[in-house]
A and B are shown apart, each in its own frame.
Chain A
Amino acid sequence: DTGVSQNPRHKITKRGQNVTFRCDPISEHNRLYWYRQTLGQGPEFLTYFQNEAQLEKSRLLSDRFSAERPKGSFSTLEIQRTEQGDSAMYLCASSLAKARYTQYFGPGTRLTVL
């Protein structure tokens, strides 16, 4: 059983560029979550998918942020026109439908915006 994987692990970009991160959940997990973690803080919930349906996206930080899960398997998180304040660790988690609060996290993608 492989865990949650995320790619890339690190991303350095210049302000104004677009970036996309990928998350592959544990294979039998149909629920997928994105969180953001800034320095010295705990993870902050961003959005949630059940299969391919995005059931909660009001917590996305701005309209520059969007997420997809087109076939109910992997997910992507895109940030358009990045700003220095977007620098953070972006974490993905997945869970089974029957254990929705027991979330397993990936290693994260560290974003640095110059």
Chain B
Amino acid sequence: AQSVTQPDIHITVSEGASLELRCNYSYGATPYLFWYVQSPGQGLQLLLKYFSGDTLVQGIKGFEAEFKRSQSSFNLRKPSVHWSDAAEYFCAVGAQAGAGSYQLTFGKGTKLSVIP
């Protein structure tokens, strides 16, 4: 069965500093990988996704992520963090749940705090 590990529960960075959020996945086949962001009390917004091809994918809000098959990782990066980036970030892997059924399996999330 597929799984996702986000090793960092909480990260604090200063505004303007660079950011990297870690994600490791376990899945037997070629993974479909996603990063979502969730603001307090809100649903999840899709930041970016990887299906195949170029291992460096660009997303919204200036985020990017790099797929490394050898390390089973899909880390999220941003060169300069803004105060509005403070939120919780979830990494997810897409997999077939049953006949004709598809689900996302999420990590536990990383909460990002931004110091002005």
Instruction: Identify the A interface with B (CB < 8 A).
Output: 4, 6, 31, 33, 35, 40-45, 48, 50, 55-56, 58-59, 91, 93, 100-108, 110
A55 to B101, CA, bound (A): 6
Partner of A107, one of B42, B90, B103: B42
A11 to chain B, nearest CB (A): 14
Q: Which residue of A lies closest to B94 (CB)?
A: A101
Q: Which residue of B lies closest to A45 (CB)?
A: B103
Contact in complex: B90, A43 (CB < 8 Å): yes
Contact in complex: A56, B101 (CB < 8 Å): yes
**A33-B103, A55-B100 known; A42 vs B43 contact (CB < 8 Å):** no
Q: Which residue of B lies closest to A47 (CB)?
A: B101
A-B contact pairs, 24 of them (CB 8 A): A6-B43, A41-B108, A41-B109, A42-B92, A42-B108, A42-B109, A45-B97, A50-B100, A56-B97, A56-B98, A58-B98, A91-B43, A91-B44, A101-B51, A101-B94, A103-B46, A103-B104, A104-B46, A105-B36, A105-B43, A105-B45, A106-B43, A108-B42, A110-B41
Contact in complex: A45, B49 (CB < 8 Å): no
B90 to chain A, nearest CB (A): 5
Q: Which residue of A lies closest to B93 (CB)?
A: A101
Task: How many A-B residue pairs have C-beta atoms within 8 angstroms? Tell me.
Answer: 72
Instruction: Identify the B interface with A (CB < 8 A).
Output: 4, 32, 34, 36, 41-46, 49, 51, 90, 92, 94, 97-109
Contact in complex: B102, A43 (CB < 8 Å): no
Contact in complex: B34, A101 (CB < 8 Å): yes
Q: Which residues of A contact B97 (CB under 8 A)?
A: 45, 48, 56, 59
Partner of A102, one of B4, B49, B103: B49
A57 to chain B, nearest CB (A): 9
